[in-house]
Amino acid sequence: MKRNWTRKLIGGLSFTSAMFVFQACYGTPQDFGLDILVEGQVKSKVTGLPIKGIKVSVEENMQYDFTNDEGKFSFYTEPVNSLKIKFEDVDLDQHGTFVNKDTIPAVTDKKVYLNIVMDSK
């Protein structure tokens, strides 16, 4: 009797484990590469050095990134008719103060690379 109970318990755990494995095989839905990669670098017009902490965002949706120590940014966004990208100095004067900027790049491929130069305030 005890052996039968143990066999049912192990069988139930095995079945449950198998269900988790098959569920994990499904994964998340794919978008088939329809997103656009937006990447680039932001530099100061005065010094020519990279600027850290600039918020780079797409106006039409919620995608954004902050520039790193090398002034670089990279994120994916949904394809839209007119891609307006904003560059905002949101860290106050921690890395200098810069005038906000926006641009509308020509999207010819699934990738946009921008070299942005920002003016000091």
Residue 29 lies in a domain: no
Q: Which two tokens stand for residue 31?
A: 């978008």
The DSSP secondary-structure symbol of 93 reads T
**Containing structural domain, residue 102:** 36-118
Asked if residue 29 has pLDDT above 70, the reply is no
Nearest to 88 by CA among 73, 61, 66: 66
What region, left, alpha or beta, does residue 96 occupy, with left being phi > 0 and alpha being psi -120 to 50 degrees?
Answer: left
Residue 59 lies in a domain: yes
Rounded to whole angstroms, how far apart are CA atoms 97 and 118? 10
Predicted confidence at residue 11, as pLDDT, reads 77
**Confidence class for position 26, pLDDT limits 50, 70, 90:** low
pTM: 0.69
Residue 4 lies in a domain: no
Largest CA distance in the chain: 84
Residue 19 lies in a domain: no
Q: What CATH number has the domain bearing residue 103?
A: 2.60.40.1120
